[in-house]
Structure 1
Amino acid sequence: MIYEVSFECGNKVGGIHTVISTKAPFVKKYFPYTAIGFHNEKQAKKEFVEKTPPAHLKNVFLELEKEDIICKYGKWVDPDVDIILIDSNNWKAKNINNLKKMHWEKYSIDSLGAGDDYDTPVAWAHCAGKLLEKIIVSTDIVHAHEWLSGAAVLYLKGKVPTVFTTHATVVGRAASSSIDIANAVKSRSLDADKMAKDYGVNAKHNMEKAIAKTADVFTTVSQITADEAEVILGRRPDVVTPNALNFENVPDLPSIRVEYEKYREELNEFIRAYFTPYYPLNPSLAPIIFTAGRHEFKNKGYDIFIDSLAELNKRLKNNTVVAFLFIPSKHNGPNAEVLDNIVTYQRVKEMMDTSWEKVKEKII
């Protein structure tokens, strides 16, 4: 049995959710498979269908419930795999300080000033370790993703084979918006421990280092990240497992063309409504390009995208390109002026369409 442990199993936060949910059906073809995730009630309503647990799990769940660890068994809807979600909030409230003390004494993880963004995943992952300890057999493997699930690896040390995958180091993520991490890694000119303190991610960094050194197998997703992990975490990954694309559900070209025509017209309507009050624009002739990702200006390359648009603007001269940046972030709701423009555009369009029908009848 492979137990895949991630804070994002059944709890969509970012890209790791996509990586695991698309990978899981393929793993299930070759190995017995169960995902272990964090119980986020809001997300669980979208992603999780609770079912009656098998007898052996039901007994374990009852034992853990006595420790304030609540486990729910069911199906992770999109990848259609078995999943156990763990609610560790009550356990955390009573035990987090003792857990952090133990991590300090055993692994020198300094988490004294860490907040709930550290405490919640660490408590959850520790509880995942306690669950796995009760259900694993010697042939099982536990695969944990990112520092958030790493406390399970620490808890299970010597009890079952463990794999730890980092998709990007904590320090690398934190520093990427202000320095060129790749060049700093190449020159080995960075002090990762000092940077972790400077960027306020000391506890997460120390946790990540401890997991990387403790796991039986350490992996990452690219050679660049492997170089970064070696310098920042002090261990070279044993294996690089690149993220892949699943083309099985990609529609054929004729279907794509039909969908393109449909949605392109919807985009054209929006573009007309958005720009018409300010610029004369025919969107039907304008290429549309876009970028999407987390709100990390340099880490996700938005700075390069915007600079490229400036260069494109110089080269195209009188031609038009429409660019979208899809970046989820805090906001105060839709822009009222844009909504007003869209409503006005739709009213004018309806009026013109109606008028044209009447004029056309007279002409004919």
Structure 2
Amino acid sequence: MGKKKTKELNLETRVLAEVAWEVCNQVGGIYTVIRSKAPVMVKKWDKNYLLLGPNIHPNVSADFEPILDADNAIAQVVRDLRAMGWDVQFGTWLVSGRPQTVLFNPHSVMGQLGNIKYYYWQNHHIEFANYDPLMDQVMAFGFMVHEFLSRFARVCLDQNQELLAHFHEWMAGTAIPDIRREQIPIKTIFTTHATLLGRYLAMNDPYFYDHLPFMNWETEAKNFNVDTIARIERACAHGANVLTTVSEVTAKECVHLLGRSPDAILPNGLNIERFSVLHEVQNLHHKYKDQINNFVMGHFFQSYTFDLDKVMYFFTSGRFEFKNKGYDLTLEALARLNHKMKEQNIDMTVVMFFVTKQPFYSINQEVLTSRAMLEEIENNCESIMEQVKDRLFHAAATNSDHRLPELNELVDDYWRLRYRRTIQSWKSDKLPSVVTHNLMDDANDQILTFLRQANLLNYRTDKVKIVYHPDFISSTNPLFGMEYGQFVRGCHLGIFPSYYEPWGYTPVECLARGVSAVTSDLSGFGDYVKKLPMGNEEHGIYMIERENQDYHSAAEQLSEKLLEYVKSSRKKRIQTRNKAEDLSEEFDWKNLVKHYDEAYDLACQKFPIEK
């Protein structure tokens, strides 16, 4: 992928439409990409930038504001489609930047689904043998996007403007093969954030990267029963003027599984907000660590206590992909860390949070009750303090004796008894629960299975305690009562030693909040950051080598790095916290959007397409 010197895009004569299944529809990481990038794109392209997405999310009205009286070319094409009976809306996405957005309701054209699939099979030799409601939605959405872009391209031509269309993933890209076949004057860019087959294969093959060059994509697609999707993904990749992906790691997959080498790499960024004063980072860390302390007291102190001044909070988060996300490696390293800390008699406690989404029935009643009891103890303490304060003030004003009175005598028997009984009823001999919820498949859960086999079950003597939280963390969460970003700020270290991760937002989110992070050289982010001058431990990045060493060697390396972090001084951690923010600026969209500019410039150079 040699870099050519390209001329700068003339944004006044060009219009960019970005198409994604996750516009106004939060499903995964692409939602973060599109949403966080929007302010930079709007600032750069202004009214020549729009987003296209599906109108399928039940709460879409909370994120989208329709514009009914708009007088521009986009709104006119939308009105034409509405006149055909299609449910299409033009408005703005209620995120930073307020990008112009067109939403298509695929259900409004479901009556034409038979013809949509038939012509797709006839023109592109892709069959739709199995019933799949999601595939139906995707094909209907792609049909609507194709019609909109075809009409909009004609309007752009009349106005001497060139139209670029950037499609994210196969679910948004089904219009590409028809745009190519019909030679519609649109410059197309397709980004695969992760190949479908790559994700399946990595989960099921411990030597995925070694076997990758020798795999037959058609055979593997049939094995996993994803033949139709794999063919659509390949058609998008080959039909687009420019193929892009998010990292060099995924680029290798594109060559072997999609049959085309990417023209450009588009690394993912965030909107990085820096504080004007360094100590604010540390202040926020203490503020949110105190809230995590409250959870930890409620969860553990019912059974036994440990010194909260000598606690470190580690966490991992993301989709539940046990091997791909490196949960297996993390657990193995934690078991080894627990042993090493005991052996070396290290006077610290590590509380490790696994935050991921798994099916559950409800919050564990004992966990919830313990939390409620601790709140009751806190309320009792506040009432006692209020009573002592009033009586102490009265004594100071009225007593001739200036000595401090016996404070115990200022508390009523009622509050003494209530305080004592509440604590007695709260304390328990049971071990603190490892998982905060009642899982639907507790017996076969991979995290719980490992913890049971490793006997890492929150014993008093364990130096490493585990909290497995199979739900999102949000301000409405009754256990934490804080946003995910606040939770991250309160922790000390994020652990993400992924085996398969096309990019990986979680380490970037850590750095942006001044939190150190573990990554691996098999993740797109890890592969990218190791080439940066600041991509080192001094700036909060701990690299696990998974490309050229086996599972157990990687687990040992991770356990040693965790042990090193546990032993580090508070002063060093504060210095790293500040330097992590410096590194995070490398991933600000203001710095990374240039890669998108290069891809768009390349698409302009490649057009027109010759058959």
Give TM-score scaled by structure 1 length: 0.92
Residue in 2 that maps onto 1:162: 188
Of 298, 301, 320, the residue aligned with 1:273 is 298
Of 94, 100, 107, the residue aligned with 1:89 is 107
What one-letter code is carried by the residue in structure 1 that aligns with 2:314?
A: I
C-alpha deviations, 1:5-27, integer Å up to 9, x for none?
Answer: 00001111111011111122222
Displacement of 1:228 in angstroms is 0.3
Distance change >3 Å, CA 54–CA 296, structure 1 → 2: farther
Residue in 2 that maps onto 1:151: 174
Q: Does the 8 Å CA contact 1:114/1:203 hold for their aligned counterparts?
A: no
Residue in 1 that maps onto 2:375: 346
C-alpha deviations, 1:239-277, integer Å up to 9, x for none?
Answer: 111112432x24343322222222111110111101122
Structure having the higher Rg: 2
Displacement of 1:41 in angstroms is 4.3
C-alpha deviations, 1:144-179, integer Å up to 9, x for none?
Answer: 000001112123222111000000001112222111
Q: Does the 8 Å CA contact 1:111/1:203 hold for their aligned counterparts?
A: yes
Give TM-score scaled by structure 2 length: 0.56
Give 1:164-313 correspondences, 5 Å limit: 164-179=190-205, 180-185=207-212, 188-247=213-272, 249-252=273-276, 253-313=278-338
Counterpart Cα distance in 1 of 2:359 and 2:114:
32
Q: Does the 8 Å CA contact 2:37/2:270 hold for their aligned counterparts?
A: no
Of 14, 20, 25, the residue aligned with 2:34 is 20
What one-letter code is carried by the residue in structure 2 that aligns with 1:37?
A: G
C-alpha deviations, 1:298-350, integer Å up to 9, x for none?
Answer: 12221122122112212222531011111123222222111111111222333
Residue in 2 that maps onto 1:107: 124
Counterpart Cα distance in 1 of 2:106 and 2:178:
15
Counterpart Cα distance in 2 of 1:200 and 1:277:
49
Displacement of 1:356 in angstroms is 6.5
Residue in 1 that maps onto 2:406: 363
Residue in 2 that maps onto 1:3: 17
Counterpart Cα distance in 1 of 2:237 and 2:223:
22
Q: Does the 8 Å CA contact 1:268/1:284 hold for their aligned counterparts?
A: no
Point out which structure has higher relative CO (alpha carbons under 8 A, 6+ apart). 2
Distance change >3 Å, CA 154–CA 268, structure 1 → 2: same
What is the CA RMSD across the aligned residues, in angstroms? 2.1
Q: Does the 8 Å CA contact 1:126/1:155 hold for their aligned counterparts?
A: no
Q: Does the 8 Å CA contact 2:88/2:103 hold for their aligned counterparts?
A: yes
Percent identity between matched residues is: 29
Q: Does the 8 Å CA contact 1:272/1:282 hold for their aligned counterparts?
A: no
Distance change >3 Å, CA 352–CA 72, structure 1 → 2: same
**Deviation larger for 165-174 or 252-261:** 252-261
**Deviation larger for 263-272 or 327-336:** 327-336
Counterpart Cα distance in 2 of 1:68 and 1:309:
58
Counterpart Cα distance in 1 of 2:274 and 2:28:
22
Counterpart Cα distance in 2 of 1:74 and 1:90:
18
**Deviation larger for 188-197 or 48-57:** 48-57
Q: Does the 8 Å CA contact 1:12/1:43 hold for their aligned counterparts?
A: no
Counterpart Cα distance in 1 of 2:193 and 2:219:
21
Residue in 2 that maps onto 1:45: 61
**Deviation larger for 327-336 or 57-66:** 57-66
2:218 alignment partner, SS class: helix
